């Protein structure tokens, strides 16, 4: 099993967490995103989107972190990341997608580079953009999170796998977390678990 990765990619970080939680061995291949290595023809054969992560396993090449997590749940169902119960599944996906669709895509590296290079925005403006969308998403999660030890319930699931990397980046960009005590508490509780800690990027 090969994970095409970049340590600071929050989408890749999600997949590393899930692989660790499931106890799956894998090989990492890292790409320097700012240097454009993910757009090299050889990598585009693996993932035509030119993004990380991508997973190669048993002849399958798969991009998109949530698709990868769904696949891993199907072939390695324990511990389960996406609940089987329809209501619990819908709630988990609502929260995971708040991060994966409402926060992350408009804050990932290619968007920040576009703002900086193509739109001629300075670093304070770009960082302000980043913080704005994190704050919007975290405000939603603060209301959605259940009264349980983890965002996923009694044990971490796909929500925690999305939340912990987003919290890591929120701190990198100095988001004021004071209005989001439940989000912060749940992210920190999950992040302290061994599977999460082992997936974390190096200190930057």
- Domain spans, the chain: 2-75, 86-199
pLDDT tens-digit map of 41-73: 999 999 999 999 999 999 999 999 999 999 999
The sheet with strand 2-5 has its strands ordered as: 27-30, 2-5, 54-57, 60-63
Please give the structure tokens belonging to residue 75.
């072939």
CATH number of the structural domain 86-199: 1.20.1050.10
Identify the CA nearest to 184 among candidates 158, 204, 157, 166.
166
Site of tokens 């992040």: 191
The residue assigned the tokens 């800690």 is 197
C-alpha 19/C-alpha 21 separation (Å) is 6
Residues 72-113 have pLDDT tens digits of: 999 999 999 999 999 999 999 999 999 999 998 888 887 888
- Residue 141: its H or E element: helix 123-144
Domain 2-75: CATH superfamily is: Glutaredoxin (3.40.30.10)
Q: How many residues belong to the chain?
A: 204
Residue 99 to residue 174: CA distance in whole angstroms: 18
Same fold, 2-75 and 86-199: no
Whole-prediction pTM value? 0.92
């Amino acid at each position: 099993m090969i994970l095409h990765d970049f340590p600071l990619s929050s989408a890749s970080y999600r997949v590393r967490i899930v692989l660790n939680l499931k106890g799956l061995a894998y090989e990492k291949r890292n790409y320097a995103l700012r240097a454009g290595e993910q757009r090299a023809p050889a990598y585009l054969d693996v993932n035509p989107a030119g993004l990380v992560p991508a997973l190669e396993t048993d002849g399958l090449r798969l991009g998109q972190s949530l698709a990868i997590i769904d696949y891993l749940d199907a072939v390695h169902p324990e511990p389960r990341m996406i609940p089987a119960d329809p209501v619990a599944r819908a709630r988990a996906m609502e929260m995971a997608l708040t991060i994966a669709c409402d926060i992350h895509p408009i804050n990932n590296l290619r968007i920040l580079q576009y703002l900086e290079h193509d739109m001629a925005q300075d670093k304070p403006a770009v960082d302000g953009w980043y913080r704005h969308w994190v704050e919007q998403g975290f405000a939603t999660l603060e209301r959605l999170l259940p009264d349980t030890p983890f965002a996923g319930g009694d044990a971490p699931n796909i929500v925690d796998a999305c939340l912990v990397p987003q919290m890591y980046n929120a701190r990198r960009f100095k988001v004021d977390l004071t209005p989001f005590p439940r989000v912060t508490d749940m992210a920190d509780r999950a992040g302290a678990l061994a599977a999460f800690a082992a997936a974390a990027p190096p200190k930057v």
